[in-house]
Amino acid sequence: MDKKKLKEHVAHYIEHLGDNPEQYREDAENRRERCRYYQGWTAERLKTMDEEQFAEYLAQLWAMRMWGNKQYVVDKILEAEDLRTVTEELSQLLWGKEQLAQRWDHFRERFKGIGMGPAMLSELLCYTHPEECMVWNRRAHVGLKYLGVQNLPRYDYQVTGERYAELSRAAMEIVAEMRAQDAPEADLLFADYFIWAELQVEENLEAIHKKKPVPESIDEKTDATTAEFIHNEVRDKLAEIGRWLGFDDRIEVKVAEGSVVDTVWEAAIGNMGRVIYVFEVQTKGSKDSLILNLLKSLKNPAVQGVVAVSDAKQLEMIRKHAEDVPGLKGKLKYWDYQEVLKVHEQLSAVNESINALNLVPVGF
More confident residue, 211 or 100: 100
Q: What tens digit of pLDDT does each residue of 289-309 get?
A: 888 889 888 888 888 889 999
More confident residue, 224 or 276: 276
Q: Report the b/e string of 267-289 with b at 16+ CB within 10 A.
A: eeeeeeeeebbbbbbbbbeebee
Q: If pLDDT is split at 50, 70 and 90, which confidence band does 258 have?
A: confident
Report the amino acid identity of residue 253: V
Helix (H) or strand (E) holding 185: none
Pairing of strands 274-281, 259-268: antiparallel
Q: What tens digit of pLDDT does each residue of 322-352 get?
A: 888 887 877 899 999 989 988 988 888 787 7
When mean pLDDT is compared across 77-91, 130-144, 310-324, the lowest value belongs to 310-324
Number of helices and strands in the chain (H, E): 16, 5
For the domain spanning 224-349, the CATH number is 3.40.91.70
Per the prediction, the chain carries an average pLDDT of 86
Q: Is the pLDDT of residue 4 over 50?
A: yes
Q: What tens digit of pLDDT does each residue of 268-282 get?
A: 887 667 889 999 998
DSSP percent split of the chain into helix, strand, coil, nearest 5: 55, 10, 30
Q: Is the pLDDT of residue 218 over 70?
A: no
C-alpha to C-alpha distance for 345 and 339, rounded to whole angstroms = 10
Phi-psi region of 214 (alpha: psi -120 to 50; beta: other; left: phi over 0): beta
Q: Is the pLDDT of residue 60 over 50?
A: yes
**Domain range summary for the chain, segments of one domain joined by +:** 3-208, 224-349
Burial of 314 (0-12, 13-18, 19+ CB in 10 A): buried
Cα separations in angstroms, 209 against 13, 126, 229, 285, 294: 27, 26, 21, 29, 30
